[in-house]
Amino acid sequence: MAEIEMPQLGETVTEGTITRWFKNVGDTIAQDEVLFEVSTDKVDTEVPSPATGTIAEIKVPEGETVEVGTVLAVVSDGAAPATPPAATEQAPAPEQAPTPEPVVAQAPPEPAPAPEPVVAQAPPQPAPAEPVAAEPAANGEVAGRRVLSPVVRRLITEYAIDASQITGTGLGGRISRDDVQRHIEANKLVSQDPGSDGGTPPPPPPAPQPSAPPVPSPAASASVPVPASQVQPGIRDAVVPLSNIRQRTGEHMVMSKAVAPHTLTAIEVDYEAVEQIRTRHGADFKQQEGFSLTYLPFISRATIDALREYPHLNASVGDRELVVHNYVNLGIAVDLDFQGLLAPVVRDADGKRLRSIARDTADVARRARSKQLSPDELSGGTFTLTNAGSYGTMMQFPIINQPQVAILSTDGIKRKPVVIEDDYGNESIAIHSVGVLAMAWDHRAIDGAYAAAFLARVKEIIETRDWESELA
């Protein structure tokens, strides 16, 4: 027998949520074959089985969160006929219900007509039920034992609506004002207020039946984002439970804003030198590497070099201290198809040239989207880049990835007219690729002058470096 425990999925990970089992009790499993998927505060990852055998027991069901070291399942060494026999032996026991058969024999004495009178009493029951629902609507406090707000009570009374015909989409199934308005519009009801000329609506009562189906109980309970194209007509709200990664991201960002005094500094950069290299070598680079040569590795390389000169930005905040790192582990924010955001780390990036940085960045981004990262690859970063530029953003104010002290946003790069100067000091206007770099930084670690000087150095490197030799 082998016990499968919740593994330590990263230095700071203390618990995990089982999101999926790939095997059931009785299934065989090979060593290193994927057994379950676990979600932590850092990443969702698939975990292989450390043993070969048969799944004898699953102790932790899907959706349950447990601490590291908790026994999740038991794998037996041999085949698992042991489990089926036990089930087969117990099967006869329930089949020994012949003893209750005498009780069935007592069934004949029970007069069949007896239920018939009960059925005869059923018709009267619906009749009182309707007045009961109508009375609450009239008295304005409760409809069908459901508490109503004053505005809902007024509308139900004014339009002579049977509240039992409305499906509430509010908390606990409460009827909201929007629910009533949709019911009124769907059934073309007329106000019964004494001051209006609206006639009594006997025809509308039958109409409520068609209005019930459109009410969005399925959409309202959707567990995944509902595309606009799939939202049913007449549905105004869809309830989308927050995924584990959304909840953890929110907690982390709220914490970051609470502990770090965020400040933003931005600078405009002329990327024309980079653009010329991308134009000349982009096609060959993609053929050689299998992915496009974007602006990101150029910005990454310039940032890494500038951090050597401004090390207090390559640091972490401790207990009344600043821990300055003598290496650069570059975090790269990766979007997971709008379902979440991860920041995998390119380790020891300060020892890598442009092409190597581009390869590592593409690799961690690909594995982040395919859930192939280990939690350790999401920790240990010393500085982070977030790239929204592909959407043409002008400038964004990112939130610092704690315990780091800064995060740099690479925003949209566009062709713009700029003033250039030749070797003789003559100025002219040219069309260049221009964009903004915006950095959020922790005012506990540095001041504005230090942040501005760092960004000016990043700008200088991007605009003046010999990128041709870097790409070689």
Instruction: Give the catalytic positions in this structure.
Output: 443, 447
Amino acid at 61: P
Spell out where 285-328 has E strands: 315-317, 322-324
Report the greatest alpha carbon distance in the chain.
Answer: 116
**Structural contact between residues 180 and 158, judged by C-beta atoms closer than 8 angstroms:** no
Amino acid at 255: M
Residues 463-467: contacts with CB under 8 Å, at least 24 apart: 463/269, 463/270, 463/271, 463/272, 463/273, 464/273, 465/273, 465/302, 467/273, 467/274, 467/277, 467/298, 467/354
Amino acid at 31: Q
Region label for 71, one of left (φ > 0), alpha (ψ between -120 and 50) or beta (otherwise): beta
Q: Which of 201, 190, 120 is nearest to 155 (CA)?
A: 190
Residue 141: both structure tokens together: 């406090």
d(CA 161, CA 134): 8
**Peptide bond before residue 403 is cis, with ω within 30 degrees of 0:** yes
CA distances from 78 to 28, 56, 85, 245, 347 (A): 9, 10, 15, 38, 43
**Structural contact between residues 112 and 140, judged by C-beta atoms closer than 8 angstroms:** no
Q: Nearest 5°: phi and psi at 332?
A: -120, 110
Q: Nearest 5°: phi and psi at 410?
A: -100, 110
Q: Which of 9, 5, 4, 8 is nearest to 43 (CA)?
A: 9
d(CA 381, CA 348): 10
Q: Directed axis angle between helix 354-369 and helix 296-309, to 10°?
A: 110
Q: Do β-strands 322-324 and 315-317 pair in parallel, antiparallel, or remain unpaired?
A: antiparallel
